[in-house]
Amino acid sequence: MDPDAMPRPVVVDAMGGDHGPAEIVRGAVEAWREHGVPVVLVGRAGVVRGELARLGAAGEVDVAHAAEVVPMTERGAGAVRMACSSLAVGFDLVRGGAGAAFVSAGSTGAVVACAADRLGTAPAVLRPALAVALPTTAGGATVLVDAGATVDPTPEMIAQFALLGASYAQLVLGVADPRVGLLSIGAEPGKGNRLTRRAERLLRGLPLRFQGNVEGGDVLTGAADVIVTDGFTGNVVLKNVEGTVRATLALAAAEGVTGSAGLHRVARRYAPETHGGAALLGLTRTVVVAHGSSRAGTIARACVVARDLAEGEVVARLGDRLALHPGW
């Protein structure tokens, strides 16, 4: 491949995650070797290069040194103050144009806080939100947003998450006029806690195809193209879906149906290595947040997702769409 024709690389936080750097480095190498995604690994250079050498990949993937590691227990504020962390150095590379996108399996709170600080939010965006496309029984996908970026949002933030999610569904999933549902404890108008009720009133005044409240049982049925909620609830829903799939496989195995190829194909559709991670919407650059428990396959997939989002200029196009809604 002509070096001058190489696209900008995806910058990967080599030190984040429960299994980093070994699994992260292996995933980055897989992203390059199997999917052609150019990658820059950011972390303690000696450690990262040692992992690359162990994989026989020395010289295949670029390495940027970062002396500090943000602990998985860090919620955010402390990470922002770590100027030499793999998050800070990685985001600076992306901000300076040396990378097209950023991928991390580190602490979600730390990634979100550092991304907002180092990259900045798009004009008028109140807070970023994580979006995950979940396969549905109807054959398409539902965008769950927020899946964990902002756990204590205001009603105004939830309303804006709906705008971001609807635009994401249009740009990434090709849904012309996305149906938006608000996750609540009942489908009837006015159901839910104070936050949900106030968000519902705001959503009814937005230029969206808002169809009202949806319940937890609707998440995978295709009842809505976008389901919006706060980050705390959204993250619980996402992990419950993944955990339920694993539990179903275990129960099936206990009943002696482990040989069902169809069952495993269905389960794989909800596995982290299939969707790779969640897109962090509302920033000025492309960021994908992978599970803290990510193994190599998930990281590789996250790199592919990040590359595709960057090449599709989804972040810029989301910003253009938000600009059409003055007052935010």
Per residue in 166-211, pLDDT (tens digit) is 999 999 999 999 999 999 999 998 899 999 999 999 999 999 999 9
pLDDT (mean) for 239-261? 78
Least confident of 145-159, 173-187, 228-242, 312-326: 312-326
Residue 308 predicted with pLDDT over 80? yes
In this structure, of 14-23, 223-232, 271-280, the range with the lowest mean pLDDT score is: 271-280
Domains assigned to the chain: 3-121+282-312 (3.40.718.10), 129-270 (3.40.718.10)
What's the pLDDT band for 1 if we cut at 50, 70, 90?
very low
CA dist., res. 172 & res. 161, Å (int): 16
Higher pLDDT, 242 or 326: 242
Q: Give the model's confidence band at 270: pLDDT under 50 very low, under 70 low, under 90 confident, else very high.
A: low
pLDDT top residue among 147 and 7 = 147
pLDDT, the chain, mean: 90
In this structure, are residues 144 and 104 in contact, taking their beta carbons and an 8 Å threshold?
no
Q: How many Cβ atoms from other residues are within 10 Å of residue 320's Cβ?
A: 12
Please give the single-letter amino acid code of residue 190: G
Higher pLDDT pick, 279 / 2? 279
Which DSSP helix (H) or strand (E) runs through 252?
Answer: helix 231-254
The CA distance from 113 to 97, in Å, is 20
Q: How confident is the model at residue 292 (pLDDT cuts 50, 70, 90)?
A: confident
Structure confidence at residue 283 (pLDDT): 94
200-217 CB burial, b ≥16 within 10 A, e <16: bebbeebebbbebbbeee
Mean pLDDT within 38-67: 96
Rounded average pLDDT over 35-42: 96
Task: Return all residues near 225 (Cβ < 8 A) that are at least 6 apart.
Answer: 140, 142, 143, 166, 169, 173, 175, 178, 179, 180
Q: Is the pLDDT of residue 327 over 60?
A: no
Confidence label for 3 from pLDDT (cuts 50, 70 and 90): very low
ω into residue 123 within 30 of 0, thus cis?
no
* 141 SS3 class: strand
Higher pLDDT, 123 or 14: 14
Contacts of 163 (CB under 8 A, 6+ apart): 206, 208, 321, 322, 325, 328
Residue 73 CA: distances (Å) to CA of 76, 78, 87, 107, 277: 9, 10, 14, 7, 19
CB 292 within 8 A of CB 71: no
Cα 29 from Cα 52, distance rounded (Å): 8
What residues does 257 pair with on adjacent strands?
Answer: none
319 confidence band (pLDDT: 50, 70, 90): confident
Instruction: Give whole-number Cα distances, 198 to 190, 205, 281, in Å.
Output: 9, 12, 22
* pLDDT number for residue 234: 96
Question: What is the per-residue pLDDT across 85-130, written as a single tens digit (0 to 9) for each?
Answer: 999 999 999 999 999 999 999 999 999 999 999 999 988 889 999 9
Average pLDDT over residues 247-272: 70
Q: Residue 42, SS3? A: strand
Amino acid at 265: R
> For 23-35, what is each residue's pLDDT tens digit?
999 999 999 999 9
Q: What percent of the chain has pLDDT over 90?
A: 72
